[in-house]
Amino acid sequence: MTPFSLMTGKVIILDLSMGNQRNSDSGRAIPYRTTADALVVSALVVIILSAATVNASACGWWGDGENDETESITIGADGHPVSEDIEKSGIPYGLQVPAPRSGYGMVVLQGGTAMPYLHVVKDNSIHSIQQLRQFGFPAVIDLGTPPAVATLHQLETGPLGMKYFNIPLDQGVPGEADVLRFSEIISTWENLPILVFSASANQLGRLWANYQLLEGFSRKDAVRQGRQLGLTEDDIRNLRK
């Protein structure tokens, strides 16, 4: 990476071995005034290069390298999770985002129902937000993603003409305000079908179950639907009354 001067709009090529910096216009070597100057520039180079070399592994459909809890699930040669690992995890099949990405996804359809992500895209090998846009999804909800990471996701999603919504969650649990926000988003017809991504499967199940309760469904029906989307027994005990 070549450092760029915001003050002059010129590229400064650093030559640390010679104690010089070179101007991109003339190529002329400009000696550092002091040893301290050279040390400061060296430190800046380390910081710049460290920031540039982020982990290449990606979360969800975005390429930011965020870690999540899906490493315990092995991805087979066909790009789908290994069934034995899914059974051990207790996570319903179809929620896992295929390799080389990771995380979990559900789709809210225009009929008002929700399905695991892979049940909708079926055999299509989709690994990026760009492919999802081409597949026909007009919007995506990023659930439980920290604001700093959400900003990166939004920058990648917006230019595709795809709506981006972030519901950050308080302490990683969908609260009443989060459920109301979710309801508001999916009640807009133009947003459907909409993808909902989370680094945690039970966040998806808990959000959907609470939404069903908000819509007036019985607790039994809400739990049944939530279980299909990752709701756990602990989550059931903590559902809104």
pLDDT of residue 237: 87
Cβ atoms of 184 and 191 within 8 Å: the answer is: no
Residue range 195-213, pLDDT digits in tens: 999 999 999 999 999 999 9
Please count the other Cβ atoms lying within 10 Å of the Cβ belonging to residue 160.
15
For position 90, what pLDDT does the model report? Answer: 75
Q: Residue 238 — very low, low, confident or very high, per pLDDT cuts 50/70/90?
A: confident
Q: What is the predicted pLDDT for the residue at 197?
A: 94
Pairing, β 194-198 against β 163-167: unpaired
- Identify the pLDDT of residue 59: 61
Mean pLDDT of the chain: 73
Can you give the residue ranges of every domain in the chain? 12-52, 70-237
Q: What residue type is assigned to position 104 of the chain? A: Y
* pLDDT tens digits, 24-81: 455 454 454 454 454 433 443 333 333 333 332 346 778 654 444 434 344 454 544 4
Return the residue matching tokens 């990752």: 230
Residue 18 has pLDDT above 60, yes or no: no
**Dihedral angle computed from the Cα positions of residues 213, 225, 141 and 65, in that order, rounded to the nearest 10 degrees:** 130
Encode pLDDT of 130-178 as tens digits.
Answer: 999 999 999 999 999 988 899 999 999 999 999 999 999 987 889 999 9
| pLDDT score recorded for residue 41 | 36
pLDDT tens digits, one per residue of 84-124: 444 445 788 889 887 667 889 999 999 899 999 999 998 78
Helices (H) and strands (E) in the chain, counts: 9, 8
CA distance 35 to 176: 58
Choices 2.80.10.50, 3.40.50.620, 3.40.50.300, 3.90.190.10: CATH for 70-237: 3.90.190.10
The pLDDT of residue 64 is 55
What whole-number distance in Å separates Cα of residue 119 and Cα of residue 114?
Answer: 10
Check if the beta carbon of residue 205 is closer than 8 Å to that of residue 180: no
Q: Is the pTM of this model over 0.75?
A: no
Taking residues 212-216, what's their average pLDDT? 96
